[in-house]
């Protein structure tokens, strides 16, 4: 039964052209997404494409696992060590090379960084550099902040 329905649909030329058009759109979007993935090397230069996806996947796999307070503390400690390694770096610096070098060391835990920033911003305007001012001792309040922020957001009339 399904065979005859599909045969009826694809017997028309317009259906075949639409299928070809959707195939081109799919290929274009795949190519665009693959080429837009960026990985920054330790020297500050960036690569894109399949090699960037491979390197980024390898870099992020080091941070896989449950997001516990210990993991948050480890991220905050690593972030502080990176900032201490580059004394000329400050949030929003105009020196692109130093900024890229700092980013190359922190791109592995970028997803965790975003969660930490959103936890301590409490649904306000997101500050990407907020994690740079946090100490590892503040890792214990991560889940408390998330819970309180969600409760206040859900109880508000927005």
Domain-embedded: residue 117: yes
| Same-domain pairing of 9 and 77 | no
What's the rounded mean pLDDT across residues 80-94? Answer: 84
Domain-embedded: residue 62: no
Residue 130: what pLDDT? 86
Q: Which domain does 111 fall in, by range?
A: 67-155
Return phi, psi of residue 48, to 5°: -140, 170
Q: Provide the pLDDT confidence category of residue 57 given band limits of 50, 70 and 90.
A: very high
Task: Give yes or no for a contact between 111 and 131, defined as CB atoms under 8 angstroms apart.
Answer: no
What's the rounded mean pLDDT across residues 134-151? Answer: 86
Domain-embedded: residue 39: no
What's the rounded mean pLDDT across residues 2-30? Answer: 91
| Same-domain pairing of 85 and 149 | yes
| 47 pLDDT above the threshold of 90 | yes
Q: How far apart are CA 111 and CA 65, in angstroms?
A: 12
Pick the most confident of 20-24, 88-92, 102-106, 133-137: 20-24
| Same-domain pairing of 24 and 79 | no
Count how many domains the chain has: 2
Q: How far apart are CA 110 and CA 115, in angstroms?
A: 9
Closest CA relative to residue 133, chosen from 63, 76, 74: 76
What's the rounded mean pLDDT across residues 27-41? Answer: 93
| Same-domain pairing of 87 and 21 | no
Domain-embedded: residue 54: no
Domain-embedded: residue 44: no
Q: Provide the pLDDT confidence category of residue 81 given band limits of 50, 70 and 90.
A: very high
């Amino acid at each position: 039964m399904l065979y005859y329905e599909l045969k009826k649909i694809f017997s028309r030329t317009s259906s075949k052209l639409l299928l070809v058009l959707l195939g081109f759109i799919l290929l274009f979007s795949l190519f665009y997404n693959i080429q837009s993935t960026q990985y920054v090397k330790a020297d500050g230069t960036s690569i894109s494409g399949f090699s960037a996806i491979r390197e980024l996947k390898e870099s992020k796999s080091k941070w896989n696992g449950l997001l516990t307070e210990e993991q948050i503390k480890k991220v905050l400690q690593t972030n502080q060590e990176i900032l201490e390694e580059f004394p000329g770096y400050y949030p929003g610096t105009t020196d692109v090379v130093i900024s890229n070098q700092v980013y190359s060391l922190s791109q592995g835990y970028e997803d965790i960084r975003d969660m930490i920033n959103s936890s301590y911003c409490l649904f306000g305007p997101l500050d990407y550099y907020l994690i740079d001012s946090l100490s590892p001792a503040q890792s214990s309040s991560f889940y408390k902040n998330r819970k309180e922020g969600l409760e206040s957001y859900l109880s508000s009339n927005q």
